[in-house]
Amino acid sequence: MTDGNPDSTATAHSAHPQDEVAPEYDDTAIRFLEALWGEGFLSPGGPDEVRRVVADLDFSGKRVLDLGCGSGGITLFLAREYELAEIVGFDVEQPVVDLATERAAQQGLADRARFVRGAPGPLPFPAESFDIVFSKDALVHVADKEALFADIHRVLRPAGLFAASDWLTSHDGEPSEAMRVYLEAEGLSFGMASASRYEGAMKQAGFVNVRTVNRNAWYRGVAQLELERLKGPLYQPVAEAVGSDYVDKNITTWSAMQVVLDSGEHCPTHVFGMKP
């Protein structure tokens, strides 16, 4: 929505270099991931996992940023379930932001949830714009964790909270051969890092009460079920939606992912902190 708010202008930039780069989350990827994870969800766990990430937050009257909102299912879930003042979904890709904006209108939530698309890099919001920054499995795409957390800290108000889930690794050394195979199969612009790198980047930015919770054991089991569903009951309907080659490619990706989930090198993690 480009409604004249200073922080909505990012969507009006039609000619920045990102426009010439094919989106990673294009219509086919969105259709595939939503078939697996539910409408509007481009990451695993559905509403239950979101509730776990936000369990300690009081949203009442708060202004919230959903960083890397994707097709907006979680942004709209938060807008519907909690008494927040406003939630802004930000993403760098146009197809997901267009879909999220359309769904906010369809679901009668456009007065409390709006979506902004902008280039990767510093967020297009003034300092101290938000009480809460939430993110689900999106920061994995940002390699420079130090710059990322400095910017998240900038847009939070004093006493503002950060609560996220993200895809981390168990170490910051060279990826194992199994991890390399997985990352190549995934083919996305991942910049994975360890919990200690996240914690260090957050503390360097000025966050306190920094805390991480490794969710590997949970996703390890869930991913196994996802793979079984993809090979079994989901195969035919999803192949009809996106083509069997696309499903086959993702069965390869999920199989490679299971190896690094089983070894513990791939560790989905919850990340929390507060701006004093």
When asked if residue 25 is in the footprint of ligand SAM (CB under 6 A), the reply is yes
Separation CA 81–CA 73 (nearest Å): 12
Q: What is the DSSP string of 241-269?
A: HH-HHHHHHHHHHHHHHHHHHHTTSEEEE
Among 42, 99, 133, 260, binds ligand SAM (CB under 6 A): 42
Of residues 164 through 223, those in contact with ligand SAM by CB under 6 A are none
Of residues 102 through 121, those in contact with ligand SAM by CB under 6 A are 120
Do 131 and 78 meet the contact criterion of CB atoms below 8 Å apart? Answer: no
Q: CB under 6 A: which stretch of 7-15, 125-133, 138-146, 251-259 binds ligand SAM?
A: 138-146
HSE at residue 184, side-chain half, CA atoms within 13 A, is 7
Q: CB under 6 A: which stretch of 12-20, 76-84, 136-144, 241-249 binds ligand SAM?
A: 136-144
Among 7, 32, 35, 41, binds ligand SAM (CB under 6 A): 41
Q: 68 vs 268, which CB is nearer to ligand SAM?
A: 68
Q: Looking at 126-276, which runs of residues are DSSP E strands? A: 130-136, 156-169, 208-214, 266-274
No. of helices (H) and no. of strands (E), the chain = 10, 7
> What's the burial of 160, exposed, middle or buried (CB within 10 Å: 0-12/13-18/19+)?
buried
Of residues 77 through 96, those in contact with ligand SAM by CB under 6 A are 91-93, 96
User: Cβ 194 to ligand SAM, closest distance in Å?
Assistant: 19
When asked if residue 151 is in the footprint of ligand SAM (CB under 6 A), the reply is no
When asked if residue 138 is in the footprint of ligand SAM (CB under 6 A), the reply is yes
**By rule CB under 6 A, what count of residues binds ligand SAM?**
20
When asked if residue 142 is in the footprint of ligand SAM (CB under 6 A), the reply is yes
Phi and psi dihedrals of 20, rounded to 5? Answer: -90, -10
Helix (H, G, I), strand (E, B) or coil at 1: coil
Among 29, 68, 169, 260, binds ligand SAM (CB under 6 A): 68
Question: Alpha carbon 117 to chain centroid distance?
Answer: 14
- Residues within the interface to ligand SAM (CB under 6 A): 25, 41-43, 67-70, 73-74, 91-93, 96, 120, 136-138, 141-142
